[in-house]
Structure 1
Amino acid sequence: MIEFKVEGDYIPMIQLLKAAGLVQTGGEAQIVVEHGEVTYNGEVDYRKRLKVKQGDLVEFRGQKIKII
């Protein structure tokens, strides 16, 4: 599991995927979110600009990211 410390109140989903090193570009992040490959707190979420906050759990291709 990856623990990601968010600076500020939140980080947009596409920025999180890029910052965690799970995708190479923001464009790739948008595509995987649009295709339903990302879960947010256990549910598939298609919002690219979703505000991911402390305590949330994001999962993508077997990798879990816990926001701390």
Structure 2
Amino acid sequence: MGERVRFELEGEFVELNQLLKLVGLCDSGGAGKALVAAGEVRVDGAVELRKTCKIRGGQRVECAGVVIEVVPGGSG
């Protein structure tokens, strides 16, 4: 299995393309949108084609062999 990354939300959700940028899988939100549009991103195991899909705590995003575990913020 690939690398695992834990991402703590700062708000209620993060847009999918921004999440990819924030964890370093791409250089910009636009590049994140391109990854999503190409069908390279899975959310909770299913291919996600909505570039600005709202990702909330408890969801799992997979891209380029990296698994991003999204956790709710405010725990510290």
Same fold (TM over 0.5): yes
Name the residue aligned to 2:44.
41
Work out the CA distance in 1 between the residues paired with 2:30 and 2:8: 23
Question: Which of structures 1 and 2 has the bigger CA Rg?
Answer: 2
Percent of residue pairs bearing the same amino acid type = 37
Q: TM-score w.r.t. structure 1 length?
A: 0.97
Work out the CA distance in 2 between the residues paired with 1:3 and 1:12: 16
Name the residue aligned to 1:29.
32
Q: What amino acid maps onto 1:19 in structure 2?
A: L
Deviant stretches of 4+, over 3 Å? none
The runs of 5 or more residues in structure 1 that have no matched partner are none
**1:59 aligns to 2:59 (yes or no):** no
Tell me how far 1:47 sits from its aligned partner: 0.3
Work out the CA distance in 1 between the residues paired with 2:47 and 2:32: 14
Q: TM-score w.r.t. structure 2 length?
A: 0.87
Selected match of 2:20 from 17, 21, 28: 17
- Say how many residue pairs are matched: 68
Q: What amino acid maps onto 1:25 in structure 2?
A: S
Q: What amino acid maps onto 1:2 in structure 2?
A: V
